[in-house]
Amino acid sequence: METLLISLLNGLVYGMLLFMLASGLTLIFSMMGVLNFAHASIYMLGAYLAFTVSEYVGFFPALIVAPILCGLIGAAIEIWGLRRAHHNGHIAELLFTFGLVFIIQRVVQMTWGMLPMAYRVPPSLDFPLFVLYGSNFPAYRGFMLVISAAMLLGTWLLLKKTRVGLIIQAALSHPQMVSALGHNVPRVFTTVFAGGCVLAGLAGVIGGNYQTTEPGMADSMGPIVFVVVVFGGLGSLAGCFVASILMGMVQTFAVVIDYSIADLLRPLGLAISGDTLLTEVLTVPVARIGALLPFVMMVTILFFRPRGLMGTRDT
Amino acid sequence: MRLVQGLLAAAVVFSAGIAVRPAVAAEDTIKVAYIDPFSGPFASGGDEFLKVFGYIVQKVNADGGALGRKFEVVPFDDKLQPAEALIALKNITDQNIPFVMQCTGSNVGSALVDGVSKHNARNPDNRILYLNCGALATELTNDLCDFWQFRFTGNVEMRAAARIKALPPEVKKVYLLNQDYLFGQSVQHDTKKWLEKLRPDIQIVGDELMPFGKVQDFSSYIAKIKASGAQSVITGNYNRDLNLLIKAAVDDGLNVRFDTYLAHLIGGPTAIGSAGEGRLSSVLEFHPNVPVELNKPDAEAFDNGWRANHDTDFSEVPFLTMFQMLARAIDKVGSTDPLKVALALEDMKANDLVGFPVWMRKEDHQISMPYYAAHFTKDVKYDSEKTGLGWKTDFIASAEDLTLPTTCKMKRPKS
């Protein structure tokens, strides 16, 4: 029971971090049709920028400044890069963002070096919030939950309740019509791309000290964010939210499960022994392959429901 | 036209920034090729080692080099991939470089053992010697041993023996957590073997492999460790797999020891920071406080020479020993011929930076050297990576203690 509750909380924190990253990606995708490979790189930039900014002015101003810087970088990428590549179709855009991944990685390595940064949780948030069955729940994780929930609420209000959101949603499905009504559609695109980058940057600021700020952090987050977006359904913010929380939970809970497929088969009278071709596959405990589960889930959902959990169109 | 000039200038600046080849006059130096990752996710290790070799070679050359000639390290990038390493090896043998070093990754190491052995069999007049300074898999000097490989660092089993010897007697319950790939499995295997041999009183309350570099949230592992009642987590994890584990333990308030193999790897102390205080230990080849503890002012001065210009620690004493032994072997036989040098290296005895005896065993070409088990604390003269905390020795496992039996049946060249 106690492990369940603790894992539930930790899964929620991790899921919300995933959501901050994935929501930006899914917004950009649904708006512009661009699967932005460099999204996790912006996340990394957010963490590094937050580290550097917080060296001078402290963590809380960095929480504002670093995402804005990421947004500006995103806007620049859209205006001077993506928009040109856009004329050559989606493949060109895809390859463009793919190339960006390596460029950003190298720039980060050349600017900050290859070693992890000493980016730490601010002392004012570095205490246990409450104790649950003898385990501390750190205040910083609570803070992460609050920030991500606020971001979720903010994004939802912006998209559903404001005029800007209305135009964004309209431009998503009927760009020509919106353009004909006198709105500057390219600028809407830039705004959305920059907005997505702000969210990624924000995730970087609070994820960078929750995990480690190092040049490999984009590589470790990138694939899982794609899984979330595909699983949740391309272009669906709600689906993205459900998928993020689900992936967070699955990865957290998988670790606690020490059973294998063989254990499942045993009550049915099927004992696995010896050294057959499938022994390894059948007897490996779930905990050892936990990190693989999200990908299994993605493949499965693409098979049975190509549009994802709540997607509105096929992948 | 101006655009072209600009691009050219940019290209020059860019390539200068990433060039790994130091500009040294090529003639009359003794070239030692160095294969390691200088790009990709593991580049931090290769980059750092290259700087360390720069510092070491400076000293060895100042001490006279070998045959009155200076050493020159020529780096080749393998991106930590065996195939790339073999291409580099071809390149190296084409340039007639007689020695090749490699310090990261047993997968690359075993490819090189094989590649060098085949090359030397086919080209007896253009042989090359493989100086292994960091491919740790125990097999490389056991079942896979080869005449043309000399390993100048302790293998996993030697480290495991040192690790277990250094466990304090009050530890009775341990949890093994390792990465699910060759190195992690090898650590898991050898740790269990030596626990059984040296500390039968210790109970293994958890034994687990985790996906390598994929886990984002370690809090569930911490919950399992807590439930197991372990006093110590023995782990071969490194980089983020170790940093995040220790962070999660501190966040949780779990009070266990982390008896690691590789916490001291470059960047580790920075990433772990004060979270490691009083709970983190590692087995090291050397650390900056060793000369202080043993009262060796010369070694301390040498270490300070490195600290003056670098934020990282100098712990690569085996690299220094390797160059010193190589220089002595070359001087002894009066040539850089790989076969002659190899024969001279066999059974060679030397003293390391602080004067401990080390020797190269003829049977399997594995060096016997001491290891330091140390914990991470504020109570030291020299801190690690400017974190305010550093390594303090708890236990020294001597070279005799770590001279382990080998299964090596070496095929020796006829001539």
> Three-state SS string across B153-205, please?
CCCHHHHHHHHHHCCCCCCCEEEEEEECCHHHHHHHHHHHHHHHHHCCCCEEE
How many Cβ atoms are within 10 Å of B126's Cβ, its own excluded? 14
Dist CA A4 CA A1 (whole Å): 5
Instruction: Copy the structure tokens of residue B313.
Output: 């620690």
Dist CA A89 CA B67 (whole Å): 64
Q: Is A252 helix (H, G, I), strand (E, B) or coil?
A: helix
Dist CA B299 CA B318 (whole Å): 14
Mean pLDDT is highest, among A134-148, A291-305, B8-22, B346-360, for B346-360
In angstroms, the Cα distances linking B40 to A106, B53, B135 are: 9, 20, 18
Instruction: Copy the structure tokens of residue A162.
Output: 């404001």
In angstroms, the Cα distances linking A3 to A6, A137, B226 are: 5, 13, 10
Q: Write the single-letter amino acid at B123.
A: N
Taking the mean position of all CA atoms in its chain, how far away is CA B321? Answer: 13
Q: What is the pLDDT of residue B375?
A: 95
Chain A residues whose CB is inside 8 A of the B221 CB are 255
Instruction: Copy the structure tokens of residue B230.
Output: 């372990």
| A118 min Cα distance to partner chain B (Å) | 6
Torsion angle defined by CA atoms of residues A170, A175, A176 and A177, in that order, rounded to the nearest 10 degrees: 0
| A149 min Cα distance to partner chain B (Å) | 19
pLDDT above 80: residue B383: yes
Dist CA A6 CA A180 (whole Å): 53
Could you read off the pLDDT of A79-102 as tens digits, one per residue? 999 988 888 888 898 899 999 999
Dist CA B70 CA B141 (whole Å): 30
How many Cβ atoms are within 10 Å of A208's Cβ, its own excluded? 26
Chain B residues whose CB is inside 8 A of the A248 CB are 217
Could you read off the pLDDT of B168-178 as tens digits, one per residue? 999 999 999 99
Residue in chain B nearest A215 by alpha carbon: B41
Stretch(es) of chain B classified as CATH 3.40.50.2300: 29-154+317-368, 158-284+370-397
B218 — alpha (psi -120 to 50), left (phi > 0) or beta? Answer: alpha
Q: Write the single-letter amino acid at B162.
A: A
**To 10 degrees, what angle do helices B317-333 and B338-345 make?**
120
Residue in chain B nearest A13 by alpha carbon: B217
Instruction: Copy the structure tokens of residue B75.
Output: 């780096």
pLDDT above 50: residue B71: yes
Q: What is the pLDDT of residue B24?
A: 47
DSSP summary character for residue A267: G
Chain A residues whose CB is inside 8 A of the B215 CB are 251, 255, 290-291
Return the number of CB contacts < 8 Å for A and B: 111
Could you read off the pLDDT of B187-219 as tens digits, one per residue? 999 999 999 999 999 999 999 998 887 788 888
Dist CA B394 CA B166 (whole Å): 7
Burial string for A235-259 (b: 16+ CB within 10 Å, else e) reads bbbebbbbbbbbbbbbbbbbbbeee
* Spatial contact of A241 and A308, defined as CB atoms under 8 Å apart: no
- At the topology level, CATH places domain B158-284+370-397 in Rossmann fold (3.40.50)
Reported for B191-197, long-range contacts at CB under 8 A and 24+ positions apart, including other chains, are: B191/B160, B191/B163, B191/B164, B191/B234, B191/B236, B193/B157, B193/B160, B194/B157, B194/B160, B194/B161, B194/B163, B194/B164, B195/B164, B197/B164
DSSP summary character for residue B66: B
Is A118–B270 a contact, with Cβ atoms under 8 angstroms apart?
A: yes
Chain A residues whose CB is inside 8 A of the B217 CB are 10-11, 13-14, 248, 251-252
Instruction: Check CB contact of A116 with chain B, cutoff 8 Å.
Output: yes
Residue in chain A nearest B270 by alpha carbon: A118
Instruction: Copy the structure tokens of residue B263.
Output: 């916490």
* Spatial contact of B137 and B156, defined as CB atoms under 8 Å apart: yes
**To 10 degrees, what angle do helices A2-32 and A237-254 make?**
150
Could you read off the pLDDT of A289-315 as tens digits, one per residue? 888 888 999 999 989 988 888 877 654
Mean local confidence (pLDDT), B281-305: 95
C-alpha closest to that of B283 among B268, B261, B298, B309: B261
Dist CA B27 CA B45 (whole Å): 29
Mutate to test the interface with A, among B15, B210, B252 (most CBs of A within 10 A): B252
Q: Is the ipTM of this complex over 0.90?
A: no
Please state whether the predicted TM-score (pTM) of the whole model is above 0.90.
no
Instruction: Check CB contact of A179 with chain B, cutoff 8 Å.
Output: no
Q: What are the beta bridge partners of residue B397?
A: B371
**To 10 degrees, what angle do helices A39-57 and A217-232 make?**
130
Q: What is the pLDDT of residue B19?
A: 45
Residue-level length of chain B: 415
Q: What is the pLDDT of residue B236?
A: 93
- In the predicted model, residues of chain A with pLDDT beneath 70 are 1, 270-276, 313-315
What is the band of B14 on the pLDDT scale with cuts at 50, 70, 90? Answer: very low
Going by their DSSP bridges, the two strands B232-235 and B349-351 should be labelled as unpaired
Instruction: Check CB contact of B226 with chain A, cutoff 8 Å.
Output: yes
Residue in chain B nearest A125 by alpha carbon: B251
**To 10 degrees, what angle do helices A59-77 and A185-208 make?**
140
Dist CA B56 CA B325 (whole Å): 13
Longest CA pairwise span in chain A (Å): 72
Instruction: Check CB contact of B223 with chain A, cutoff 8 Å.
Output: yes
Q: What is the pLDDT of residue A315?
A: 47
Q: What is the pLDDT of residue B105?
A: 87
Q: What are the beta bridge partners of residue B102?
A: B35, B132
Boundaries of every domain in chain A: 2-215
Mean local confidence (pLDDT), B54-70: 94
- The secondary element (H helix, E strand) that includes residue A93 is helix A90-112
Residue in chain A nearest B213 by alpha carbon: A220
| A140 min Cα distance to partner chain B (Å) | 9
pLDDT above 60: residue B20: no
Dist CA A205 CA A216 (whole Å): 16
Q: What is the pLDDT of residue A272?
A: 65
B29-154+317-368 under CATH 3.40.640.10, yes or no: no
Going by their DSSP bridges, the two strands A128-132 and A135-138 should be labelled as antiparallel
Instruction: Check CB contact of A3 with chain B, cutoff 8 Å.
Output: yes
Q: What is the pLDDT of residue B197?
A: 94
